[in-house]
């Protein structure tokens, strides 16, 4: 089973199947919460993912200042600060898991959202040969 973890290892995530088809989100809130260019997200059905938090390190932040107007719950490790997951709403069947928690190469993203706040110099280059995706 594919496993993922935060930097300090207090929180681990177990997925029922290999994660695939990441989606990049460039919204300002994701840029701030990742302190980076975007968040890289895997979408899972809630029953297909288990978050293990034996020491109670997982913290939640209700993010209501979103461009969509939706109130998201952003979950992160309270020890090391790694973003872990985002819940769209309490009754949503979907959970977003941050792709960087998983070991191994990141599959090529299938989509990107809120591109109006994407850095103008950032583009995804898919090379004709070698099937290599490169962020530049
Ligand atoms: Zn941690
Ligand atoms: Zn976002």
Work out the average pLDDT over 22-28. Answer: 95
Using the predicted structure, report yes or no on whether residue 130 has a pLDDT greater than 50: no
Cα torsion at 74, 69, 65, 9 (round to 10°)?
10
Strand partners, 61: 74
- Residue 14's CB is within 10 A of a number of other CB atoms, namely 14
Nearest listed ligand to the Cα of residue 57: 1
- For 135, what's the count of Cα atoms within 13 Å in the CB-facing half-sphere? 12
For ligand 1, a single-atom ion, which residues have Cβ within 5 Å?
6, 8, 10, 77, 79-80
Ligand 2 centroid to Cα of residue 130, in Å, is 30
* Total-model pTM: 0.86
Nearest listed ligand to the Cα of residue 8: 1
Cα 88–chain centre separation = 12
Which pLDDT score is estimated for 123?
A: 76
- C-alpha to C-alpha distance for 98 and 90, rounded to whole angstroms: 18
Domains identified in the chain, total number: 1
Q: Give the CATH number, domain containing residue 29.
A: 2.170.150.70
Which pLDDT score is estimated for 131?
A: 47
Range of the domain at 37: 3-135
Ligand 2 centroid to Cα of residue 135, in Å, is 18
Which pLDDT score is estimated for 117?
A: 93
Asked if 98 and 84 touch (Cβ cutoff 8 Å), the reply is: yes
Which pLDDT score is estimated for 136?
A: 37
- For 36, what's the count of Cα atoms within 13 Å in the CB-facing half-sphere? 9
Asked if 77 and 6 touch (Cβ cutoff 8 Å), the reply is: yes
Ligand 2 centroid to Cα of residue 101, in Å, is 17
Using the predicted structure, report yes or no on whether residue 127 has a pLDDT greater than 70: no
- What are the C-alpha distances in Å from 49 to residues 57, 97, 121? 18, 9, 35
| Tens digits of residue pLDDT in 47-65 | 999 999 999 999 999 999 8
Ligand 1 centroid to Cα of residue 6, in Å, is 4
| Tens digits of residue pLDDT in 56-104 | 999 999 999 888 888 999 999 999 999 999 999 888 999 999 999 999 8
Which pLDDT score is estimated for 124?
A: 65
- C-alpha to C-alpha distance for 103 and 101, rounded to whole angstroms: 7
Ligand 2 centroid to Cα of residue 88, in Å, is 11
């Amino acid at each position: 089973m594919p496993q993922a973890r935060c930097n300090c290892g207090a929180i681990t995530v177990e997925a029922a199947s290999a994660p695939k088809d990441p989606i990049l989100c460039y919204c300002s809130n994701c840029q701030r919460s990742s302190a980076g260019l975007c968040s890289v997200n895997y979408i899972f059905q809630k029953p297909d993912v288990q978050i293990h938090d034996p020491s109670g390190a997982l913290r939640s932040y209700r993010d209501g200042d979103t461009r969509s107007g939706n109130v998201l719950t952003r979950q992160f490790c309270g020890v090391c600060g790694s973003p872990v997951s985002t819940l769209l709403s309490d009754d949503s069947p979907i959970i977003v898991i941050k792709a960087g928690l998983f070991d191994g190469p990141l599959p090529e993203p299938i989509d990107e959202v809120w591109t109006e706040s994407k850095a103008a110099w950032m583009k995804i280059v898919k090379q004709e040969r070698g099937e290599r995706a490169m962020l530049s």
